[in-house]
């Protein structure tokens, strides 16, 4: 076997959440060999291990693709940063670590689109397979034997407790497990942090296989093309970077792309798979016409408030950092072991609908600008089911060039309505009596922002991505021209090629997306190995009915 071209049973592109899980499940089948390619470096940095390192990790080019969205008038013509993980573990090594599956109807909706085996009852066993829930739980819905530890926040703050109590008194009940029977309500986040350390997908699924001889993990290996013989995928070309020599790995059985919602469609496009018009613009010969590649980009658009509070919140500076570091070293609750957002809420922004349409995140800390620094409460919200969709396109035939990412945030008028309603809902919460001992002034949007036009203007100018891009190679029946993969995750019209990451989601889940990506990868591994799917879990439908909520409109 030459050093330039090697042969494995399976070649996996991308070592994020999905790639790590698929590699683990395939490699534990002793009869096959697996090569996992990752463009970034190993995950040795302390910023990738200590949870508080999230504030630094996503801005380090070595560990994150420093992508930006295309400017759009709907969001004040801003280029919005949207970094994506570029190391072992992918975005699970740089993200906020919150574990949030979504609403059961998200997945029933996927099934209604013609994707057999993707309803809530079908995917629940795979959610459970991934996780090792630590704490009280209902095992009808929660897994306790998986590789990924899911823990409760062990650091509480009176301001967060008061926010939860305020929501409860406004008709939004406390919910101790939003990943259980019901999603709606408020509480502290669950996260993949254990004993004070971030547990990324690489730590949970790759590290235990460090001595497996049938798993080859290659870092600094950016895929530059999928190799085909006719319509059959036979391998991957990769290189360390521009100007470095290319190498090839061949796949006897399958190539599996798990490069994420931005890089997966880009790789297909520069390989000649996609819209003929786009490929012609790029000067890339058409290998296979598939116009849905790169379309249907969805993401959550986050709108934050900045509220000045009395006294101190948390600080990562000076003596306080030293004190918190000492606590962390000795295994005590510490801000160094926190995810950025502490409190969650699922609510309806306007009416008595039983299904939440926004997710609320609450963080506390300090706010800095050019003039002053002060303690703040930083609540934010995003629409769970946005109607605006965008696209991802290769910007050049050069695979090392960043893709064009256009999410089209707030283009749809229905999303604009939720943005305005969400701002009014947040103000109703912040005006609750339980928060008055703490809050002493709304800095952003600020008291001058009052009518609908001003609220929408603030949303356009201040909103950011929630880092949940998905949908760019959506799953669906072959007669749907927008779909890219079938319900077995096989690329339409091609052989021996699957996609198993956030790009296959037909719609964005009502949640942070990493939990659903773990689930997708677990299902994909069974499909690749030809195993029967895990038996569906049919929970009592009455357990899944969300309780009506009191309206939060001012």
Q: What is the DSSP string of 481-503?
A: TT--B-TT-BBTT-BSEEE-SGG
Given the residues 468, 492, 532, 538, select the one marked as catalytic.
468
Which contiguous run of DSSP H or E holds residue 514?
Answer: helix 514-528
Q: What does the pLDDT read at residue 287?
A: 98
Q: Is the dihedral of CA 250, 256, 259, 265 positive or negative?
A: positive
Q: Is the dihedral of CA 380, 386, 391, 392 positive or negative?
A: positive
- The DSSP 8-state label assigned to residue 252 in this structure reads E
Query: For residues 513 and 502, what is the distance between their CA atoms, to the nearest angstrom?
Result: 7
Q: What does the pLDDT read at residue 339?
A: 82
Query: For residues 244 and 240, what is the distance between their CA atoms, to the nearest angstrom?
Result: 6
Query: For residues 221 and 219, what is the distance between their CA atoms, to the nearest angstrom?
Result: 5
Q: What does the pLDDT read at residue 398?
A: 98
Q: What does the pLDDT read at residue 328?
A: 53
Query: For residues 232 and 551, what is the distance between their CA atoms, to the nearest angstrom?
Result: 54
Q: What does the pLDDT read at residue 215?
A: 98
Q: CA distances (Å), 116 to each of 119, 121, 475, 509, 536, in order?
A: 7, 11, 10, 17, 12
* Angle ∠(343,347,350) on CA atoms, nearest 5: 140
Query: For residues 137 and 362, what is the distance between their CA atoms, to the nearest angstrom?
Result: 23
Which contiguous run of DSSP H or E holds residue 186?
Answer: strand 185-188
Q: Which residues pair with 223 in a beta bridge?
A: 238
Please confirm whether the linkage preceding 445 is cis (ω < 30° from 0): yes
Q: What does the pLDDT read at residue 424?
A: 96
Q: What does the pLDDT read at residue 157?
A: 87
- Point out the residues of the chain with pLDDT beneath 70: 1-4, 312-335, 351-354, 366-373, 540-554
- The DSSP 8-state label assigned to residue 471 in this structure reads -
Which tokens belong to 516? 């659903």
Q: Is the dihedral of CA 18, 19, 21, 25 positive or negative?
A: positive
Q: What does the pLDDT read at residue 544?
A: 54
Question: Strand, helix or coil at 387?
Answer: coil
Task: State which CATH number among 3.30.930.10, 3.40.35.10, 3.30.410.40, 2.10.69.10 fits the domain covering 154-188+301-383+410-462.
Answer: 3.30.410.40
Q: What does the pLDDT read at residue 547?
A: 46
Interhelix angle 158-169/413-430, rounded to 10 degrees, is: 110
Question: Strand, helix or coil at 295?
Answer: strand
**Pairing relationship of beta strands 193-194 and 185-188 according to DSSP bridges:** unpaired
**Pairing relationship of beta strands 306-309 and 222-229 according to DSSP bridges:** unpaired
* Angle ∠(225,467,362) on CA atoms, nearest 5: 165
Q: What does the pLDDT read at residue 313?
A: 52
Among the residues of 90-137, which ranges form H helices? 104-112, 120-130
* pTM: predicted TM-score of the whole model, two decimal places: 0.94
Q: Are 118 and 487 in contact (CB under 8 A)?
A: yes
Indicate if 468 belongs to the active site: yes
Query: For residues 148 and 48, what is the distance between their CA atoms, to the nearest angstrom?
Result: 16
């Amino acid at each position: 076997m030459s050093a330039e071209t090697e042969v494995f049973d399976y070649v996996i592109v991308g070592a994020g959440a999905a790639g790590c899980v698929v590699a683990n499940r395939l490699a534990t089948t002793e009869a096959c060999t697996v090569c996992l390619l990752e463009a970034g470096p190993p995950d040795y940095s302390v910023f990738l291990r200590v949870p508080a390192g999230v504030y630094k990790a996503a801005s380090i080019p070595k560990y994150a693709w420093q992508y930006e969205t295309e400017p759009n008038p709907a969001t004040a013509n801003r280029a919005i940063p949207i970094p994506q993980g570029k190391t072992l573990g992918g975005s699970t090594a740089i993200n906020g670590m919150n574990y949030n599956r979504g609403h059961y109807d998200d997945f029933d909706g996927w099934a209604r689109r013609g994707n057999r085996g993707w309803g809530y009852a079908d995917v629940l066993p795979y959610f459970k397979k991934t996780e090792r829930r630590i704490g009280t739980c209902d095992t009808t819905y929660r897994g306790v034997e998986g590789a990924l530890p899911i823990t409760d926040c062990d650091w509480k703050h009176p301001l967060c407790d008061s926010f939860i109590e305020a929501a409860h008194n406004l008709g939004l009940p406390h919910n101790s497990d939003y990943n259980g029977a019901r999603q709606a309500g408020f509480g502290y986040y669950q996260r993949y942090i254990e004993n004070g350390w971030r547990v990324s997908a690489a730590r949970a699924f790759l590290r235990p296989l460090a001595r497996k001889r049938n798993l080859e993990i290659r870092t600094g290996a950016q895929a530059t093309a999928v190799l085909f013989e006719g319509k059959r995928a036979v391998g991957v070309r990769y290189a360390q970077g521009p100007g470095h020599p290319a190498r090839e790995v061949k796949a006897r059985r399958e190539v599996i792309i798990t490069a994420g919602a931005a890089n997966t469609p880009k790789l297909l496009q520069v390989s000649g798979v996609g819209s003929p018009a786009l490929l012609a613009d790029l000067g890339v010969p058409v290998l296979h016409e598939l116009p849905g590649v790169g379309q249907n980009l969805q993401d959550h658009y986050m709108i934050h408030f900045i509220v000045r509070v009395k006294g101190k919140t948390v600080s990562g500076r000076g003596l306080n950092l030293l004190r918190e570091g000492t606590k962390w070293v000795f295994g005590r609750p510490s801000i160094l072991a926190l995810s950025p957002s502490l409190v969650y809420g699922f609510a309806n922004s306007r009416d008595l609908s039983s299904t939440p349409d926004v997710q609320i995140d609450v963080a506390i800390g300090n706010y800095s600008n050019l003039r002053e620094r002060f303690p703040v409460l930083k609540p934010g919200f995003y629409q769970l089911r946005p109607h605006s969709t965008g696209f991802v396109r290769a910007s050049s035939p050069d695979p090392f060039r960043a893709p064009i990412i256009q999410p089209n945030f707030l283009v749809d008028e229905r999303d604009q309505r939720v943005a305005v309603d969400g701002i009014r809902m947040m103000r109703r919460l912040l005006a609750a009596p339980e928060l008055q001992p703490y809050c002493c002034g709304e800095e952003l949007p600020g008291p001058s922002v009052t009518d609908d036009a001003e609220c929408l203007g603030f949303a356009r100018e201040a909103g950011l991505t929630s880092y949940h891009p998905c949908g760019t190679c959506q799953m669906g029946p072959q007669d749907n021209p927008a779909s890219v993969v079938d319900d077995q995750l096989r690329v339409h019209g091609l052989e021996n090629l699957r996609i198993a990451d956030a790009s296959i989601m037909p719609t964005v889940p009502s949640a942070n997306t990493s939990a659903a990506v773990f689930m997708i990868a677990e299902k994909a591994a069974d499909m690749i190995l030809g195993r029967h799917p895990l038996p569906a879990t049919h929970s009592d439908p009455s357990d899944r009915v969300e309780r009506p909520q009191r309206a939060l409109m001012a």
